[in-house]
């Protein structure tokens, strides 16, 4: 077997295979045994390597939060598999053992800070749950807060912080856990443009120094093109991945002003527009690697990463 293939497999931190999710109709008794009424996610396949960042972009309501919950074990997939370092994720939990969603850190849309705890306590909380002693966890939390530009704010309560500061606390809390993977749900959507751009840059700088890959879902094409080395476009009802892009310049200094950035924004937007105009079409989702959508670009930057990877003879499809 070719060495590159093995190296590629070893570099994969997250692998998602054929993920499907349904929601039962409102008011349906949970133990009714009937077939759930509405499918939200269909046949979602992708991989994330250790040295990558991944942005999943899609319109509001398409299932991005549902996808994140399924990835970290907060919601049980109805079909398919989520593998973290090759181990199935079986459920959420504060632990760090195999199969524990606790190996991933998730930043929710509303930051998820505990209002009755100080900034320091919020950041140290995950370490406390893991049994790290007070002195050690407080020192680690203070160090990460300083990295995030929040030295001196340790004793404040979240209500006294701006939205951008609260988001930095949430990022600090996630990194304090030294996760294998960081998941983020539209982390900057409620911030003003300048704060959002600064925090996006902070996030990339932290990614470079901490080396923790992240997966971010967003409805913003610009955010996806700025933060994702890989970009997946999610659309449809049920939603699936309708286009995939490599974005190798992501993270380079000055990328926001680079022609490549604008080109990526244009391509991703074109893929979304094509989907809206053309809908799923007769063979949607059945092309190689799930990337081919009628009208969507499949040029040099459109890439495939089904479960068997780019080298697979049929893009990972059965
Ligand atoms: N717990 C739930 N029960 C039933 N339907 C849900 C539930 N959570 C989300 N949905 C529905 O699933 C769809 C996708 O929701 P969501 O994942 O929150 O989308 P997004 O994050 O892309 O805005 C929406 O139509 C939403 O109403
Ligand atoms: Mg959402």
- Ligand 1 atom closest to residue 75's alpha carbon, by position in its atom list: 1
**How many angstroms separate the CA atoms of 271 and 243, rounded?**
7
* Ligand with smallest separation from the Cα of 58: 1
Q: Quick one: which ligand is closest to 237's CA?
A: 1
- Decide if 81 is inside a domain: yes
Residue 299 located in a structural domain: no
Closest ligand to Cα 109: 2
Cβ proximity of 220 and 42 under 8 Å: no
Residue 28's pLDDT is 58
CATH of the domain at 215: 3.40.50.300
Q: Which two tokens stand for residue 207?
A: 């990614």
Residue of the CA atom closest to atom 8 of ligand 1:
66
Instruction: Determine, yes or no, domain membership for 141.
Output: no
Q: CB under 8 Å to 151, separation ≥6 — which residues? A: 142, 145
Alpha carbon of residue 130 to chain centroid? 23
Distance 308 CA to ligand 2 centre (A): 28
pLDDT of residue 307: 39
CA 91-96-99 angle, to 5 degrees, is 35
Q: Please state whether beta strands 87-88 and 79-84 pair in parallel, antiparallel, or not at all (unpaired).
A: antiparallel
Could you say which DSSP state residue 302 is in?
Answer: B
Place of tokens 């989907």: 275
187 lines ligand 1 (CB under 6 A): no
In this prediction the pTM is 0.83
46 domain residue, yes or no: yes
The phi-psi region of residue 79 (left if phi > 0; otherwise alpha if psi is between -120 and 50; otherwise beta) is beta
Q: For position 226, what pLDDT does the model report?
A: 97
Q: How many domains does the chain have?
A: 1
Q: How far apart are CA 101 and CA 123, in angstroms?
A: 18
Answer yes or no: is 130 within a domain.
no
pLDDT at residue 1, rounded to an integer: 45
> Relative to the CA of 63, which ligand 1 atom is closest?
17
Supply the range of the domain harboring residue 244. 3-26+36-112+179-290
CA dist., res. 230 & res. 47, Å (int): 10
Domain assignment present for 101:
yes
| Bridge partners for 89 per DSSP | none
Residue minimizing CA distance to atom 6 of ligand 1: 23
Q: How far is the CA of 217 from the centre of ligand 1 (A)?
A: 14
What are the mean pLDDT values of the chain's consecutive 10-residue runs (318 residues total)? 50 95 71 69 95 94 94 91 90 55 79 92 91 94 92 95 91 89 91 90 89 94 97 95 96 93 97 80 38 37 42 29
Q: Is residue 108 part of a domain?
A: yes
- Is residue 22 lining ligand 1, measured as CB closer than 6 Å? no
Q: Which residues contact 156 (CB under 8 A, 6 or more apart)?
A: 118, 119
CB-CB contact of 305 with 289 (8 Å): yes
pLDDT of residue 53: 95
Residue 117 lies in a domain: no
């Amino acid at each position: 077997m070719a060495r590159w293939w093995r190296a590629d497999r070893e570099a994969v931190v997250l692998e998602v295979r054929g993920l499907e999710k349904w929601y039962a109709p409102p008011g349906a008794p949970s133990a009714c045994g009937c077939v759930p009424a509405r499918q939200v996610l269909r046949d979602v396949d992708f991989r994330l390597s250790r040295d990558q960042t991944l942005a999943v972009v899609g319109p509001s309501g398409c299932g991005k939060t549902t996808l994140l919950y399924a990835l970290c074990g907060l919601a049980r997939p109805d079909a398919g598999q989520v593998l973290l370092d090759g181990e199935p994720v079986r459920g959420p939990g504060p632990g760090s053992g195999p199969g524990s969603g606790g190996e991933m850190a998730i930043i929710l849309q509303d930051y998820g800070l505990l209002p009755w705890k100080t900034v320091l306590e919020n950041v140290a909380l995950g370490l406390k749950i893991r049994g790290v002693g007070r002195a050690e966890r407080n020192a680690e939390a203070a160090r990460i807060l300083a990295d995030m530009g929040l030295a001196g704010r340790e004793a404040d309560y979240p209500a006294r912080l701006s939205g951008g500061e609260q988001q930095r606390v949430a990022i600090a809390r996630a990194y304090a856990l030294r996760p294998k993977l960081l998941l983020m749900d539209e982390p900057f959507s409620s911030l003003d443009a300048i704060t959002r751009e600064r925090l996006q840059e902070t996030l990339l700088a932290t990614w470079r120094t901490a080396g923790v890959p992240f997966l971010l879902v967003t409805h913003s094409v610009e955010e996806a093109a700025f933060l994702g080395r890989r970009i997946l476009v999610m659309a449809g009802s049920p939603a699936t991945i309708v286009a995939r892009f490599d974005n190798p310049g992501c993270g380079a200094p000055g990328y926001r002003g680079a022609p490549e950035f604008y080109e990526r924004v244009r391509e991703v937007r074109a893929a979304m527009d094509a989907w809206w105009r053309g809908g799923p079409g007769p063979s949607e989702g059945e092309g190689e690697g799930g990337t081919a959508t009628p009208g969507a670009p499949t040029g040099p930057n459109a890439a495939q990463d089904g479960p068997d990877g780019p080298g697979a003879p049929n893009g990972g499809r059965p």
